[in-house]
Structure 1
């Protein structure tokens, strides 16, 4: 019968892991202790473990290592006895640095965000204390002696195992995660000032309660939003710069879906704010009335320097009993309360700084308030 062959580094790690499993984890291993401490600190504070910081002290090495590559699942050694526990083995390609990589930090995604799960000095680690058969998501960064941190790897998901095979989860209650968000569409809300993307909703046997959105920075994946709908927007970004995101769906029990594909969105400046055209006309309106009727003179003044050709004046008579009966120096019409006066051929051009005089007679059945909303060729006029 053929035997499995392990890398030398894994053989040493396997001996420790097997011995601890055989002893029913009577004393927690160093790695398990660090993982448990990280989770306990997160739970006690109610906030995720702080993410790695960027660069070293001023005047020293400020060049970060390269991003770790080829993250993959490495099966941990077979247990020799004792109580099975869920473990995840991770391996990756080493980072490079101008001075030297001193170690790595491994972060695990939880319902409260990413927490640090391990800080190995080699390109492999075992994360224990997990639920057998459940899928977990991780990312990894490299560190150098000056404290510089690499850009994070893309999220990587794998299932916790015991030995070489996945076993049924012993959890109780709802342990089924939502389906993975799909159909990522960047910049789906172009009128929003910032980034936006949309997606196809996830499903769940009980119900999806929302989504957790993460954005990549130079040193980590940081939480940036928890939308309940199928779109996300983020403002206060640099217009024209691209940003990389991923997201997971979450249900009421805290189960997390597999991460979505990465989506790159470019920060938009949004649609420009509407600027109304400058006021280019002035109206002087004078009226006098008598029982059942009134007359009005209207002076149209071109405040601009450009001639107004084939002008049309519009305004509103506020009272329903005000009706235009006849007029002069314009073609007059009325629809409801809206009145239109169009230029005659002989006064169709109002030169810059010049004016024309028009007027009309009307009938009344009530009050005679002045008109409102004067516009000339679509531009708003001021009252004189």
Structure 2
């Protein structure tokens, strides 16, 4: 009887080892078969570019797609990733996984393991990052971003019928370029527009902080896409940014590649050398503008060009006097005549024009003499 029990125990132990070996092999096959074409990575920013919290865990690294859990066989998708463990002097207590939504990053999962994920729309691509926490509440710098596709898991099931509506995200913003506005104090950069099956409605700008990726601005679509900030940056330091496009249905693009941008001094603001007084008389659909330009600088102005910018394109130049007038878009430009080419210090010259307009009476938004803004007299 004792011999029989020993043989039975040996058989059970052998079966246990075989089961573990089989599950390990299935996990390896699934990871090897992960569709890398569906995965987008963003390179981790240099640690020298972002301040870290003293005593915080190290940044989670090597984010990669991981097999979807075996148990939940559902018609919904599941986005799952793995990462290499962080280190900490007192030990890592857990990891927080954040998912990018239309309103920004939201906490999607908390785990003590180095694998995590969440349920989502089947075949939708999700962008996420991970931070580590220790028992004292210190939080690590955020990991690099990773974008993976929500799948059904290792055991296939029938694909559900797609829900109606727009589920197509915009394309990834590209070609981020630093210092697009050289005269701006702080950080400036620009990028190429995304495309969408309907329309891109906004671009959200994120900056890496010590523990997260914070949304620092939203830019509406335009012919020249650019972002600038000065209040929360220090001149001479670098900051890491990325841009996400979104549409009216709340679909978000894969984030752009990260950009390391330098906060710059910018050009000094020049002291105005001119002041302008403006008055206009109107009748019917015409306005008669009278402009007095005064030299408030310290040297005579020898040759000048005055630009007048209106907010409405409905203003159309018809004639002018005491200057050679032209129009480009909403800007009217007057160039000196030979007899009023020089404006001595403290002296004035008077010029004007007639223009047609529609709607309410327009008022200029600014005046500039030889490219430098004038003050209002």
Q: Shared fold by TM > 0.5?
A: yes
Aligned counterpart, 1:189: 181
Q: Where in structure 2 are the equivalents of 1:1-384 lying within 5 Å?
A: 6=23, 62-78=54-70, 81=73, 83-128=74-119, 130-164=120-154, 170-229=162-221, 230-236=225-231, 237-275=233-271, 335-337=338-340, 372=347
Deviation at 1:76, TM superposition (A): 1.1
Task: Tell whether the 8 Å contact from 2:75 to 2:160 is kept in structure 1 after alignment.
Answer: no
Residues 210 and 250 of structure 1 are in contact (CA less than 8 Å); yes or no, is this contact kept in structure 2?
yes
Let me know the Cα RMSD of the aligned residues: 3.5
Q: SS at 1:103's partner residue? A: strand
Gapped regions of structure 1 (runs ≥ 5) = 12-53, 56-61, 278-302, 304-310, 321-333, 342-369, 375-384
| TM superposition shift of 1:191 | 1.2
Q: Is the 8 A contact 1:65 1:96 kept in 2?
A: yes
Q: Distance in 1 between matches of 2:103 and 2:206?
A: 12
The offset of 1:235, in angstroms, is 1.5
Q: CA deviation at 1:80?
A: 7.2
- Corresponding pairs, count: 245
CA distance in 1, matches of 2:193, 2:182: 20
Deviations 1:278-297 (A, max 9, x none): xxxxxxxxxxxxxxxxxxxx
TM-score, length-scaled by structure 2: 0.58
C-alpha change, 1:145 and 1:314, in structure 2 (3 Å) is closer
- Contact 2:182/2:267 (CA < 8 Å) preserved in 1? yes
**Contact 2:96/2:131 (CA < 8 Å) preserved in 1?**
yes
Structure 1 residues 371 and 275: alpha-carbon distance in aligned structure 2, compared to 1, 3 A threshold: closer
Task: Give the Cα separation in 2 of the matches to 1:371 and 1:266.
Answer: 42
Q: 1:172–1:100: structure 2 CA closer, same or farther, 3 Å change rule?
A: same
Describe the shift of the 1:80–1:69 C-alpha distance in structure 2 as closer, same or farther (beyond 3 A).
Answer: closer
Shift of 1:251: 0.6
- Report if the CA contact (8 A) 1:152-1:219 is conserved: yes
* Matches of 2:271 and 2:92, distance apart in 1: 55
| Contact 1:133 1:169 (C-alpha < 8 Å) held by counterparts | no
Deviation at 1:257, TM superposition (A): 0.7
Change (3 A) 1:93 1:169: farther
Unpaired runs of 5+ residues, structure 2, are: 1-19, 29-51, 274-297, 304-320, 322-336, 350-377
Q: 1 CA distance for matches of 2:70 and 2:64?
A: 18
Listed one character per residue, the Cα deviations across residues 314-344 of structure 1 (whole Å, up to 9, x for unaligned) are 89xxxx9xxxxxxxxxxxxx94245699xxx
CA distance in 1, matches of 2:204, 2:55: 31
Asked if 2 retains the 8 angstrom alpha-carbon contact of 1:133 and 1:168, the reply is: no
Deviations 1:90-136 (A, max 9, x none): 100000111111111100000111100111011111312x1000000
Q: CA deviation at 1:77?
A: 3.2
Q: Report the Cα distance in structure 2 between the residues aligned to 1:252 and 1:200, rounded to whole angstroms.
A: 19
Structure 1 residue 4 displacement after superposition: 9.6
- Distance in 2 (alpha carbons) for counterparts of 1:125 and 1:371: 72
Structure 1 residues 336 and 240: alpha-carbon distance in aligned structure 2, compared to 1, 3 A threshold? same
- C-alpha contact 1:78 1:162 (8 A) present in aligned 2: no
Change (3 A) 1:313 1:190: closer
Larger radius of gyration: 1
Q: TM-score, normalised by structure 1?
A: 0.57
CA distance in structure 1 between the partners assigned to 2:150 and 2:302 by the alignment: 74
* SS of aligned partner of 1:175: coil
Structure 1 stretches of 4+ with a deviation exceeding 6 A read 311-315
